[in-house]
């Protein structure tokens, strides 16, 4: 059977921040794709504001570059394990992968994670060692590290002879030589190796249609849009086709719109054939993994596996004293509609009703997955409250099990013992410890997910900000008994509503670390700081200095308070205890007790103590 030599389908995979999105930018710029008048912004594939700010890719994107009369379809995948569901489905749409590895950092946990998914699908790899101009770059050692990783992951013999390209995507240069002096301002080596190495799609377009939905998009005009690859046959506008549903039923529909991808744009097309990556509109409730087939030959493709959620939080309507003051969307119905809308495109998310009005149990792939959803809603004008993240337990062969994560840490040698101690306390099991030179130690651990909730902040302070902490979901293991991780410090809780004053904060700040400065609106039950000890303390942060007719001394006038600790959304979620919520509005992130009234809260605490 002939192959379609005019196209190649590849995914770009890498660890977070190794430069794959920058590389895609350069491939677009240096191909025959874009109109010469069109300006391409930095990291143009990351269209979402949060992606741009954090320098991470959250959603898979497709683009296509033209090289002469040929085309390379490229899928830019998330590198973070929380978006593993996206990575896995993309692998079924492509024939090869471009593995981007930082020439200084080498292989990292997410490199391993995404590469393992690629080998499971028997995809052909090409390695791009990026950032070869970076100080301390060690390109040849990194190639050896990649080879070791390939062997460890059980790569086929022919895959061990992988082509390597050395590049600096930031400068738009590449070469087949590891010597930085040989870098040339061209991406031709990448284009050439893709056409030489990656298999061309089989051209079976004369057979009955099979198209599988691997990703979803949504817009208000056409509803759900199924994105995927035509595995077999041809699909045209106006065709009557059959959707083979996940539950075994089928549904007929007429194709109303087809889109292909060129550069950064979706372009309407009349027809697509085997090997093409396309978006199909007109199916109202299509889901990931369903097959669109020829009604005369309705054969379903194997169902795609979607990673199950491992973490859950309760999202609630905001009911604090400041509710409705800062957001546009504040009602339970608006929040529920928004969560249900997210389900149109995010297949790793689950939303369930609870027995409380205005509260939903939202389950996702990890802290980052859920915190990005909250941050997105906040920016859209929503107000809501969220509880402390909790792991999802599962019964596996009659044994209660919990999720574990593979942890890789790079830390300056002098902080290694502190990090080891902190991970041991969180029930982590050390798997490896090695010196990687330059005064750095690399630690590999397996740790329960619940022990890692809130660990990032502790880790950064333990390593004075010099450590690198990466974690990837690994597997479910039997639950660790008689251990409950959590915050060791109590909270400083406001006893009244009002505006904080310099004078009041000065009287409280020696108790611990403040989260608010002077002139901030607070309410009773709002957490204004962290106690240095393990118990909660109710404090008054609004009282004013008693006025008298005695002139104050100079010392009094210049007295100033310490700079409060900034509690952004991630830091707040990490800080939470079981009896607390984070209140999120477009303008503020506040932490509060579930029971706001001081007397009622103290009574509830006594009851809890008595019942233990």
User: Running DSSP on this structure, what letter comes out for residue 397?
Assistant: T
Q: How far is 25 from 40, CA to CA, in rounded Å? A: 8
Q: How far apart are CA 77 and CA 51, in angstroms?
A: 12
Phi, psi (deg, nearest 5) at residue 70: -110, 170
Q: What would the two tokens of residue 90 be?
A: 């993309």
Cite the DSSP H helix spans in 57-169: 84-91, 109-120, 139-152
- Measuring CA to CA, how many Å separate 582 from each of 314, 451, 493, 500, 591? 11, 20, 14, 20, 4
Q: Check pLDDT > 90 for residue 604.
A: no
Confidence of residue 527 (pLDDT cuts 50, 70, 90): very high
Fold of 400-478: Alpha-Beta Plaits (3.30.70)
Give the pLDDT band (50/70/90) at residue 352: very high
Q: CB under 8 Å to 223, separation ≥6 — which residues? A: 281, 283, 284
pLDDT band at 558 (very low <50, low <70, confident <90, very high): very low
Cα 415 from Cα 442, distance rounded (Å)? 11
The DSSP 8-state label assigned to residue 427 in this structure reads T
Q: Please state the residue numbers annotated as binding site for GTP.
A: 17-22, 130-133
Torsion of CA 221, 227, 231, 237, to 10 degrees: 20
Statement: 210-293 belongs to CATH 1.20.1440.230: no
CATH code for the part of the protein at 311-391: 3.30.70.870
| pLDDT number for residue 283 | 75
**Is 70 exceeded by the pLDDT of residue 579?**
yes
Q: Specify whether the CB–CB gap between 260 and 266 falls below 8 A.
A: yes
State what percent of residues in the chain have pLDDT above 90: 30
Q: Which residues are annotated as a binding site?
A: 17-22, 130-133
* SS3 call for 76: strand
Kindly report, residue by residue over 48-70, the tens digit of the pLDDT.
Answer: 454 444 444 434 457 888 888 88
pLDDT at residue 271, as a whole number:
86
With b for 16 or more beta-carbon neighbours within 10 A and e for fewer, the 42-54 pattern comes to ebbbbeeeebeeb
> In the chain, which segments carry CATH 2.40.50.250?
491-611
Average pLDDT of span 230-255 = 87
Scanning the structure block, which residue is given the tokens 């990783």? 149
Indicate the average pLDDT of the chain: 83
Structure tokens that stand for 448 in this block: 């329960």
Of 605 and 335, which is predicted with more confidence?
335
Cβ proximity of 374 and 585 under 8 Å: no
Q: Which residue intervals of the chain bear CATH 2.40.30.10?
A: 210-293
pLDDT digits (tens, 9 = 90+) for 81-104: 555 566 777 888 899 999 888 888
Q: Which has more pLDDT, 182 or 487?
A: 182
* pLDDT for residue 51: 40
Phi/psi at 129 (nearest 5 deg)?
-85, 110
Would the pLDDT of 219 be above 80? no
- What integer pLDDT is reported at residue 303 of this predicted model? 79
Query: What per-residue confidence (pLDDT) applies to 34?
Result: 52
Give the global pTM.
0.74
371 pLDDT more than 90: no
CATH of 491-611, one of 3.30.465.10, 1.10.340.30, 3.40.630.10, 2.40.50.250: 2.40.50.250
In this predicted structure, what is the pLDDT of residue 554?
46
Question: Quick one: average pLDDT of 320-338?
Answer: 93
What pLDDT does 336 receive? Answer: 94
Write down the CATH superfamily of domain 7-197.
P-loop containing nucleotide triphosphate hydrolases (3.40.50.300)
Mean pLDDT is lowest, of 153-157, 388-392, 577-581, for: 153-157
Residue whose entry in the numeric block shows the structure tokens 């909730």 = 453
Other residues' Cβ atoms within 10 Å of the Cβ of residue 357: 9
Mean pLDDT lowest among 71-85, 185-199, 437-451, 484-498: 71-85
CATH 3.30.70.870 placement within the chain = 311-391
- Rounded CA gap, 115 and 14, in Å? 8
Distance (Å, whole) CA 44 – CA 67: 19
């Amino acid at each position: 059977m002939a192959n379609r030599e005019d196209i190649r389908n590849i995914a770009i995979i890498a660890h977070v921040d190794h430069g794959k999105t920058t590389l895609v930018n350069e491939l677009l710029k240096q191909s025959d794709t874009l109109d010469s008048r069109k300006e391409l912004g930095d990291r143009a594939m990351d269209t979402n504001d949060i992606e741009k700010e954090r320098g991470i890719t959250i959603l898979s994107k497709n683009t296509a570059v033209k090289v002469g009369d040929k085309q390379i379809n490229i899928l830019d995948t998330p590198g973070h394990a929380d978006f593993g569901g996206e990575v896995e489905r993309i692998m079924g749409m492509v024939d090869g992968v471009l593995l981007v590895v930082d020439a200084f950092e080498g292989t990292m946990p997410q490199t391993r994670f995404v590469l393992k998914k690629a080998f499971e699908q028997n995809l052909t790899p090409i390695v791009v060692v990026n950032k070869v101009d970076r100080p301390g770059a060690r390109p040849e050692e990194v190639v050896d590290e990649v080879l070791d990783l390939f062997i460890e992951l059980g790569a086929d013999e022919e895959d061990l002879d992988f082509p390597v390209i050395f590049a600096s995507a930031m400068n738009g240069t590449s070469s087949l030589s590891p010597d930085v002096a040989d870098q040339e301002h061209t991406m031709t080596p990448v284009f050439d190796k893709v056409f030489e190495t990656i298999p061309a799609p089989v051209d079976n377009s004369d057979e009955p249609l099979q198209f599988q939905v691997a990703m979803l998009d949504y817009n208000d005009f056409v509803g759900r849009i199924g994105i995927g690859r035509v595995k077999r046959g041809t699909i045209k506008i106006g065709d009557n086709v059959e959707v083979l549903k996940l539950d075994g039923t089928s549904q007929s529909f007429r194709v109303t719109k087809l889109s292909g991808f060129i550069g950064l744009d979706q372009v309407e097309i009349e027809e697509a054939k085997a090997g093409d990556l396309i978006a199909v509109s007109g199916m109202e409730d299509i889901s990931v993994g369903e097959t669109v087939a020829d009604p005369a030959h309705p054969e379903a493709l194997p169902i795609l596996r979607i990673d199950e959620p491992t973490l859950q939080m309760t999202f609630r309507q905001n009911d604090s004293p400041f509710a409705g003051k800062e957001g546009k969307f504040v009602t339970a119905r608006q929040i529920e509609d928004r969560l249900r809308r997210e389900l149109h495109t995010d297949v790793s998310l689950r939303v369930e009703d609870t027995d409380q009005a205005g509260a939903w149990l939202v389950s996702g792939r990890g802290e980052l997955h859920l915190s990005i959803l909250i941050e997105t809603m906040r920016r859209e004008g929503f107000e809501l409250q969220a509880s402390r993240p909790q792991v999802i337990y599962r019964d596996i062969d009659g044994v209660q099990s919990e999720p574990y994560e593979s942890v890789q840490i790079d830390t300056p040698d002098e902080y290694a013992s502190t990090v080891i101690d902190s991970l041991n306390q969180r029930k982590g099991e050390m798997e490896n410890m090695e010196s990687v030179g330059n005064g750095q130690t690399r630690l590999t651990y397996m740790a329960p997910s619940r022990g890692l909730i809130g660990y990032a902040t502790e880790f950064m302070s333990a390593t004075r900000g010099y450590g690198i902490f990466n974690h990837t979901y690994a597997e479910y293991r039997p639950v660790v008994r008689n251990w409950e991780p959590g915050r060791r410090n109590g909270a400083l809780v406001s006893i009244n509503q009002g505006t904080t004053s310099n004078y009041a904060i000065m009287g409280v700040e020696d108790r611990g670390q403040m989260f608010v400065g002077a002139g901030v609106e607070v309410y009773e039950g709002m957490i204004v700081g962290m106690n240095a000890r393990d118990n909660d303390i109710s404090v008054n942060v609004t009282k004013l200095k008693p006025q008298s007719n005695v002139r104050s001394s100079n010392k009094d006038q210049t007295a100033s308070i310490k700079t409060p600790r900034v509690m952004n959304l991630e830091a707040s979620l990490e800080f939470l205890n079981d009896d607390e919520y984070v209140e999120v509005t477009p303008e503020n992130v506040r932490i509060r007790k579930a029971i706001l009234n001081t007397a009622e809260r103290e009574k509830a605490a006594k009851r809890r103590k008595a019942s233990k």
